[in-house]
Structure 1
Amino acid sequence: MPGDKKAGTGLFGLTRRNFLVSSAAVIGTGLAAPAVRAQSGVTLRFLNNETSAASQAALRNACDEYEAKTGVKIIIDSSPISGSMEKAMAAINGGQPYDLMTASFIATVLEFVHAGVLVPLTDMVKRYDWGRGAAWDYEGENWYYPFDYNLVMNYYRKDLYAEKGLKIPETSDQFLENCRALTVLDGSNVDVGGCVVPLASDSATNWAAFGNMFAEGVELFDGDWNVVLDQGENADRAKRFLDLYAELYKTMPPGMNTVSFAQLMSLFATGKSAHTLYSGRLVEALEATNPELADKYGVFASPGSSGGKALSYAFDGFCVFKTPQSEEALKFLQWFVDEHYVDWLLSAWMNNHPARMDIYENERWKSHPMIQKHWETMMTMKSFIESDDVVIKAIDTSGPSIDIRPCTVFNANVMPEMLQQKALGNAPSADCIAAAAQRIRSLI
């Protein structure tokens, strides 16, 4: 079983053995079916990484309603995505794990699965049809209940494209030329970037930076889990991607080595970059901070050198932990997705790009004024998950199946550091690829 491999220890050293040693006093060893009626006096703890005011309010309203109906109190602890894994780990190691959590990366979920601390949600998930890649299973079970995609789209300025006579790029060379055409220099320095593609050693880079690489058809592993990043034609594809990145980097604004989630949005929203990479949340940010620009953007998938298209992605979903309150946590989550799922999606109306396909026909969801205003963008996102011509892939979903090995690569920031060697260290692409491949082999 993959979880028995040495690599299964993961970034935080969380294993089934050390979890049980540290928390055996509070974790139940078996789970019955959810209770028919909730028991008053029960308190659930929910770690939420959706920290916008609207999302926190939607969750709080649902929890208050549930407490009024059942007597079950739910304490919400909100933490940004960048710190939620560490917060959940600290709770586990302190002997007081959360009962529920929102999770955003497969690498995070599999860390917990390998530790044996999650409750499968398979029966709940199987009730609905899901978009491509959303409701993945591992060892025959679904370990989270999805609520959105985080497809990494290229945002561009329609007004600037019109001024320069540019067209949506069909190849990576065309994308590079567009970025060069829209770069504004102040002397020898970039004042307005042609694009923003991150390279810091963090989850933002792992998530956002590799759409063009996947569009080239680069694979990290073959069907037998051999590392092939530096092998044959695959190495040639990876080289084309790194050569492209090095040229794109020259069009980017300064400070790219520290750019993370917030800056990917703000540089575009403030007019400091003509392209950026982000999910639907950027549309919400434009409406909130620069509504004039909210009428001047467009989106497209990352192109490869031969015209292939790809989007990197992550997801968001709910997880339930094994605790003495697991039955009540399952009961609450089932009630929540039955009664408040649409409210939750609408609390982040564009970022919560539905993973559950029936939502696209939900009248209350469709009639939201901002979804109506940005309907073209929403339908473009929907087309990406429905089209077999667009690759949807991520660092932590690389390989022949969902597995801890690509998650280990994600957690160790192997691929962001390959970008750094190329863009900051000016190393030959072949050397960067060889070093990354060797590091992957040493990790797994």
Structure 2
Amino acid sequence: MRKKWFLLFLVSSLLAGILSGCLGSSAKPTETKEETGKEGDNVIRIASVETGPETMEVLKKAGEEYRKEFGVKVEVEAVPLADIFTKINASYGTSAQYSAFLTGFIGHISILEEQGKLAEVDDIIENLGGKEDFYNGHILFPIKGKTYWIPYDYNLAYGYVRTDWLQEEGLSVPKTWDEFVNVAKALTDKENNKYGLIMPLSSDGATNWITSSLLWANNVRIFDDNWKVILDSEEMKPRVVESLNLLKELHPYMPAEATSASYAEMTEAFISEQVGMTFYSGRLVDILETKNPSLADKFEVFGIPMKDGNGVAASLGYDSMAVLKTDHTDETKKFVEWFYKEKLNDFLHTDGVHYFPAQESIYNSEEWRSDPIITKYWETGVEPQYEILKNAELHSIDSDGPETDARPGKVFEAFLIPKLFQKVTLNNEDPEKAVEEITDEIRKLIGEK
């Protein structure tokens, strides 16, 4: 009898287990990992070019919070801007591939989109306020009508000048090219290791971003509206040569470090008081506040004077997040949207002056403006950025041409414009000949016949 009851009990238990499995769990998508005891197999891997300790801490904490709330693991890795494009390509399609990444160049996006590696993010843009909130789509750079990155800040490359050095020489912020050269000369004292300015001349992104502003200050363009390379055209070549001659005039008033300088040297030379002028984004102010706050009231922001003296120019810069096509793209997009809605202000405040918001609603919000460093440098470091954004001639190598395309991105990644600068400064080559040679290289690079 006991054996019979035991068999009945065993059969009943098995049936209950089978029915339970068929009916499924009552856990809802909104339940946390702690509630369900489960965590998805997919891992969202983020490559961040924002490698500062505080910024990485915000990203990592956001990932931890997202895992606790939604049961999805998020890993964040610091990757220098100079390495991001190579690492994304090298790891794509492998077990180590990234799900999303932060970058500072639209050229990376245009090339990766051409390769079919990016997911569209127009839905995220719309949920964040639409293109109107992103300064009417100024830096969304759609490709064939679709958007592939979500900007979080502007990084314009503009000038900083020591106002106390100017006062000692009886000079003012330069408004023309002649004044620009005269200020550089007057602020140079080589015997005491002091120089008028520094601009990068190395073959890297810093030169692409910063030194190219001398071209935009003379309305230079690389491509015409039909994607024809026009650097050596009858109209454009004289402008390029004039910009190169300006660089040649400025070069003697730069320290030797300019030859190999990259991003860090732009801030270090100014904060260490080696140079009177440098060119960078708002990050310089954030670093200055930490390393040499005595300079807080001794600088002024300025744009590169236009050749005709009518206005100023600056290199267009931007930082954004993009989503790669993977087997968990949808989950990655959910995290990215959540991050922008819930954690972006924390992220921006890690370098308050540098991370100039890409959304007008954030720029105008009290939550963003209340950050102490933003309040302190509002008149000297923040508002001047807004004025340059609204009024300067803004351009960049990787956004050149009639629309967003991989061709200017390839020019950017080949560092041909830095090579042009090196020819006339380091090699002392004839500017006209240098323009012709580089133009030929660009044509070969993009396959123009």
3-state secondary structure, aligned to 1:274: strand
3-state secondary structure, aligned to 2:82: helix
> Does the Cα contact within 8 Å between 1:101 and 1:318 map onto a contact in 2?
yes
Q: Distance in 2 between matches of 1:185 and 1:361?
A: 44
Amino acid at match of 2:73: K
| Correspondence 1:13-32 to 2 at 5 A | none
Q: Distance in 2 between matches of 1:255 and 1:45?
A: 36
**Equivalences, count:** 405
- Report the equivalent of 1:223: 225
3-state secondary structure, aligned to 1:250: helix
3-state secondary structure, aligned to 2:235: helix
| Correspondence 1:9-408 to 2 at 5 A | 37=30, 40-41=39-40, 42-92=42-92, 94-126=94-126, 127-128=129-130, 129-131=133-135, 133-186=138-191, 191-307=193-309, 308-376=311-379, 377-387=381-391, 390-408=392-410
Q: Distance in 2 between matches of 1:103 and 1:344?
A: 15
Q: Distance in 2 between matches of 1:328 and 1:406?
A: 31
> Does the Cα contact within 8 Å between 1:50 and 1:78 map onto a contact in 2?
yes
The structure whose residues are more often helix, as a share, is: 2
Using the TM superposition, give the Cα deviation of residue 96 of structure 1 relative to its aligned residue in structure 2, in angstroms. 3.4
> Does the Cα contact within 8 Å between 1:122 and 1:141 map onto a contact in 2?
yes
> Does the Cα contact within 8 Å between 2:47 and 2:100 map onto a contact in 1?
yes
Q: Distance in 2 between matches of 1:300 and 1:239?
A: 24
Q: Distance in 1 between matches of 2:84 and 2:400?
A: 23
Q: Distance in 2 between matches of 1:440 and 1:43?
A: 40
Q: Distance in 2 between matches of 1:276 and 1:302?
A: 11
Q: Can you list the C-alpha shifts for 1:165-200, whole angstroms capped at 9, x where unaligned?
A: 2111111111111111101122xxx82111111111
Q: Which has the larger radius of gyration?
A: 2
Q: Distance in 2 between matches of 1:69 and 1:404?
A: 39
Q: TM-score, normalised by structure 1?
A: 0.88
> Does the Cα contact within 8 Å between 2:314 and 2:395 map onto a contact in 1?
yes
3-state secondary structure, aligned to 1:223: coil
Using the TM superposition, give the Cα deviation of residue 386 of structure 1 relative to its aligned residue in structure 2, in angstroms. 2.0
Using the TM superposition, give the Cα deviation of residue 212 of structure 1 relative to its aligned residue in structure 2, in angstroms. 2.0
Using the TM superposition, give the Cα deviation of residue 314 of structure 1 relative to its aligned residue in structure 2, in angstroms. 2.3
> Does the Cα contact within 8 Å between 2:111 and 2:410 map onto a contact in 1?
no
3-state secondary structure, aligned to 1:298: strand
Amino acid at match of 1:97: Q
- Report the equivalent of 2:445: 443
* Gap regions ≥5 residues in structure 2: 1-27, 32-37
3-state secondary structure, aligned to 1:231: coil
3-state secondary structure, aligned to 1:255: helix
Q: Distance in 2 between matches of 1:304 and 1:60?
A: 43
Using the TM superposition, give the Cα deviation of residue 43 of structure 1 relative to its aligned residue in structure 2, in angstroms. 2.2
Q: Distance in 2 between matches of 1:259 and 1:66?
A: 39
Q: Could you say which structure has the greater relative contact order, defined with CA pairs below 8 angstroms and 6 or more residues apart? A: 1
Q: Can you list the C-alpha shifts for 1:99-147, whole angstroms capped at 9, x where unaligned?
A: 1111111111122111111111112113331136322211111101100
> Does the Cα contact within 8 Å between 2:29 and 2:70 map onto a contact in 1?
no
Q: Distance in 2 between matches of 1:347 and 1:196?
A: 26
- Report the equivalent of 2:434: 432
Using the TM superposition, give the Cα deviation of residue 421 of structure 1 relative to its aligned residue in structure 2, in angstroms. 0.7
Q: Distance in 2 between matches of 1:51 and 1:95?
A: 23
Using the TM superposition, give the Cα deviation of residue 92 of structure 1 relative to its aligned residue in structure 2, in angstroms. 0.9
Q: Can you list the C-alpha shifts for 1:349-374, whole angstroms capped at 9, x where unaligned?
A: 11111111111221111111100011
Q: Distance in 2 between matches of 1:133 and 1:193?
A: 36
Using the TM superposition, give the Cα deviation of residue 95 of structure 1 relative to its aligned residue in structure 2, in angstroms. 4.4
Q: Can you list the C-alpha shifts for 1:302-349, whole angstroms capped at 9, x where unaligned?
A: 112211421112211111111111111111111111111111111121
Q: Can you list the C-alpha shifts for 1:407-439, whole angstroms capped at 9, x where unaligned?
A: 111111111111111001111111111111111
Amino acid at match of 1:100: A
> Does the Cα contact within 8 Å between 1:106 and 1:314 map onto a contact in 2?
no
Q: Distance in 2 between matches of 1:37 and 1:113?
A: 33
Farther-moved stretch of structure 1 (67-76 vs 129-138): 129-138
Q: Distance in 2 between matches of 1:293 and 1:246?
A: 29
> Does the Cα contact within 8 Å between 1:418 and 1:432 map onto a contact in 2?
yes
Q: Distance in 1 between matches of 2:410 and 2:85?
A: 15
- Report the equivalent of 2:24: none
Q: Distance in 1 between matches of 2:305 and 2:436?
A: 24
Amino acid at match of 1:345: L
Amino acid at match of 1:43: V
Q: TM-score, normalised by structure 2?
A: 0.87
Q: Distance in 2 between matches of 1:284 and 1:90?
A: 33
Using the TM superposition, give the Cα deviation of residue 289 of structure 1 relative to its aligned residue in structure 2, in angstroms. 0.8
